[in-house]
Chains A and B, each alone.
Chain A
């Protein structure tokens, strides 16, 4: 009865206890960093001697942090839009196309997700240096679109595979052009997939560190590069404050995603 929750007996208590421990382990750093950001100790003593908001004040007083966050948001938005559009087009070919090498093509388009980022990072760094895109926003966007593309293709192809093509055909039979049928019948039907693709693609760029470290210039750095730079210097509590805001962002993104998914699936 090992797969019957109600009949596991003592084993259930043991497994539940273990699951609780692992959940606590997964939650620990996230909660810890938020608490730390309100602690008054510059040397990160914990529990902190008293509570304060001064690290947040220091964070907002330094325009470099805000600038880095805006740069990240700008690059991630552009990369996500590009990845979703290109990924959507590719998904139709990957799911419905009948041509030789379709599986090879799928494998190729998903490779950026599998190849260690550090290999891609130095490759694109060298390439962009040569063609003059090093340290530019365009270079950042292109590199991040490559990395975000698999994260767009996976949910969209999954949604498209679950969509019955005969509904689209019915629209064509009723007089819609193939393009119109795709736009007004198929796209609304796979909107959850497209929405997930947008979120994943955005996060793939927003959180990306390795390519960004190589691509960054003194005048163009993303938030992860800024955090990386600070981490290499010292473990200042200001990083905890910035990190807590990122946790807040993650939480709001999770809630928005859950709400939108619920609304879209109605």
Chain B
């Protein structure tokens, strides 16, 4: 096929080739002009140009004009990754008046200039891959994107502040929302906080009105104490199954009067109160906290005598005037259809016991920050009194930063919020007790509006700051003043020596981690995660709430540690993206799906079990495989597996692939 191949057997092929400098990103390593000169000599190439920035308007216009002037019918652009600009050039091709799938893109940046140092060899490689593209594009066919309607509702998974914010935004736009929360109440971690930094707003005062609004919003179906157990479908058309855990309360009858709790046979709590971080006890019939939404009681089957098969007079049921208690309640399921999903499943705090040297779980007076949040809250287990487990009020308090953060033995990442919440707790502890408070820090990371100012305020309030990672917390005294105290051992890296500071109370500022079951959630929604386990955004800068699965968005700490303002901003962004999808009303499906040549198909079913998207069925009448183009994601597994070569995939047809391989391997 030396010189004469200007046709592909069906039509005359007139190719336009464009190579991008990307400033010096490509041009600095690859001799782009030489590549353009070379490609110009290839059969079928009518135009071959290099340009500083092909993605700019001028670059795109060049393609549009050339198509018209030179009657081009195939376009190849050698530039960055198709992930970045394939769409851009496809639409330029379309604007020029030809089918956008007559375009092909070659990646010579991520796969070329960025990974090679030898300029001559990098240029040769660019020539080879460009030749491959020119070889294959001549066989490209006109393809159409299919349109599918979008179901007009959104599933939000997780009812913390991120889920609440996203749900409210969508509801305000009149969208139907399903908000699914695993715990009995929405509110998430924010509901545990006393104040928020740096303004010291009361967390409950700003959160609980939003929670109440969610509970009474006609656009929002709130399912708490429920979990998503299965998700199927694709962007615009997901189906999800929700499992409702039994509360042992008829939700439609309970009005939240709490008479059942007062009349429980247990006069005192008999089990750890999770909401108070186990610093207090609760009864088997309980409400997580007074402002819980929905305001429904729950019976804990682990703690309830009757549900454990024991003998109980069931005084709670007798006390309920509305007969709302139902000990026979079983789990139930709901199947819903939604157009898009927002995952806001949040985080868990680092288990402080994983740092044995800090003594959590060994020494009574070592607390986690979340426990102290509950202690400083007026609705907490001590009514807002900061007292130790033995009832004493601490006179000296150490706050240890970076516990389970920035630590090669545990988690390497910075949890972003600990510096600021440590400052907040330091302020509150000092305010409540007048104690001398030491902060042990590596760096103070106070980047945020008003954050540095808050740090300064703490300095002025007389809080002590010691720069150094704490080596150990010990109760072994070496001097009289250490007797009966906890001793914080630290290298003061500003003073340049090792200090031992005796204190009454140690607060461990634990970092943020992915939730334990994050990988199950990830698999269910078919999204990726980074090496540390946080859900992975499609692009760290430009698509921070999108995922690699179209129509599934992420927001809040499930994507990475962040504070409340950032979480709220991200949740609003996710809601906006979901809304854009809903309001557009349809989704365009990429056409690179597979199809079956019924003449060749023997109906052997090899492909059916292999398809990861369950897109293939067998037509028993015709004895052939049938691929549902709506479900097909174009992975190509069936194409490779088909023993009779009956399956073909758009844009990856044999003629295209073999032409590309042949040309790439041909010597220049």
Partners in one complex: no
Point out residues on A near B: beta carbons under 8 Å. none
